């Protein structure tokens, strides 16, 4: 099996803006409310991001599946720029399966699709299950297919490629597959954030896959740099990393995007624009 490399002089950058397991109490610069998320997305766009990965929060800052909150975030981003809008169906630990699916009714261009169940190991929800049964995955991807939403396939260990083959074999997902290779997430069942684990995923990527590197915490910058050298995209942002460097909280998502763009340019790669990324990912152009 061999994956598709991004054009040598391009890299697709995704900004994961706020997540579900981090809070302003951990870093006050975390965007939580719709206007903050839209502004953070725009700031990342200005630094070179092509995709915004979105989780929604209620007025108290708790994760929500409320479609109206997702719509508000989408409208806020669209009023400012043409970023690819990707909603999370991982949602948050307080959400039901229905809550997690609800964001698809806000018509994102992409949505995350988590490829297996794991146990949470940190925070207030440690010891609870992040549920993604085969039946859930099939239900989520079927709804995405019906709505023309491109899945971002979230892989946390090589065993999850079996689930990817299942949805490919059932014709539920189309090439090119956009696969997040995740290292270091605080779930029982995810591999560690090391170069060896990242490399270890590559031989198992199904034909027709593009990949994106997602590394948690201090591994973010070195391992996404490695991923882009290997021909993959990059995910950075405060969902995965709240620090600029050891002991120094980041000031914004855009600060993390700006750093990785500097590194990309030093090795001859220009960030793909949202429209270039749509073309590479097989997402239809935005209506004018
Ligand atoms: N939290 C990340 C490791 C989702 O939102 O559905 C993966 C993620 C998945 O962002
Ligand atoms: Zn997420």
What pLDDT score does 1 carry? 65
Of the candidates 204, 142, 128, the residue with the CA atom closest to the CA atom of residue 171: 142
Distances (CA, A) of 276 to 80, 108, 273, 279: 18, 18, 5, 5
- pTM equals 0.98
Q: Which residues contact 266 (CB under 8 A, 6 or more apart)?
A: none
Residues with CB under 6 A from ligand 1: 16, 19, 88-90, 112, 114, 154, 182, 185, 214, 239
- The Å distance, Cα 257 to ligand 1 centre, comes to 18
- Cβ 31 vs Cβ 17: under 8 Å: yes
Q: What is the pLDDT of residues 228-251, one digit of tens each?
A: 999 999 999 999 999 999 999 999
Q: What is the pLDDT of residues 80-122, one digit of tens each?
A: 999 999 999 999 999 999 999 999 999 999 999 999 999 999 9
Structure tokens at 147: 């709505």
> 262 has which bridge partners?
none
Q: Which atom of ligand 1 is nearest to the CA of 214?
A: 3
- Cβ 176 vs Cβ 152: under 8 Å: no
- The Å distance, Cα 21 to ligand 2 centre, comes to 9
Q: Which residue has a Cα nearest atom 7 of ligand 1?
A: 154
Alpha carbon distance 103, 111 (integer Å): 9
Q: Which residues of the chain have pLDDT under 50?
A: none
* H/E stretch holding 161: helix 161-169
- Cβ 55 vs Cβ 88: under 8 Å: yes
């Amino acid at each position: 099996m061999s994956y598709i490399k991004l054009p040598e002089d391009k890299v697709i950058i995704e900004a994961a803006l706020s997540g579900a397991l981090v809070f302003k109490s951990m870093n006050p610069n975390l965007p939580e409310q719709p206007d903050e998320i839209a502004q953070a997305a725009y700031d990342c766009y200005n630094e070179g991001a092509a995709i915004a990965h979105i989780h929604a929060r209620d007025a108290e800052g708790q994760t929500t599946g409320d479609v109206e909150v997702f719509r508000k975030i989408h409208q806020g981003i669209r009023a400012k720029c043409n970023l690819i809008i990707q909603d999370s169906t991982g949602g948050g630990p307080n959400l039901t399966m229905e809550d997690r699916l609800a964001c698809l009714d806000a018509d994102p261009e992409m949505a995350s699709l988590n490829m297996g169940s794991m146990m949470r190991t940190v925070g207030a929800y440690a010891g609870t299950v992040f549920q993604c049964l085969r039946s859930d995955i099939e239900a989520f991807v079927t709804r995405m297919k019906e709505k023309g939403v491109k899945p971002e396939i979230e892989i946390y260990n090589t065993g999850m490629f079996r689930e990817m083959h299942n949805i490919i074999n059932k014709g539920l997902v189309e090439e090119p597959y956009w696969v997040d290779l995740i290292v270091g997430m605080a779930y029982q069942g995810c591999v560690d954030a090391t170069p060896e684990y990242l490399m270890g995923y590559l031989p198992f990527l199904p034909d027709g896959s593009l990949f994106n590197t997602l590394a948690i915490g201090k591994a973010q910058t070195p391992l996404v740099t490695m991923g882009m050298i290997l021909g993959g995209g990059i995910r950075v942002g405060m969902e995965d990393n709240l620090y600029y460097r050891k002991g120094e909280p980041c000031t914004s998502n855009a600060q993390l995007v700006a750093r990785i763009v500097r590194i990309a340019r030093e090795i001859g790669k220009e960030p793909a624009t949202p429209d270039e990324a749509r073309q590479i990912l097989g997402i239809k152009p935005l209506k004018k």
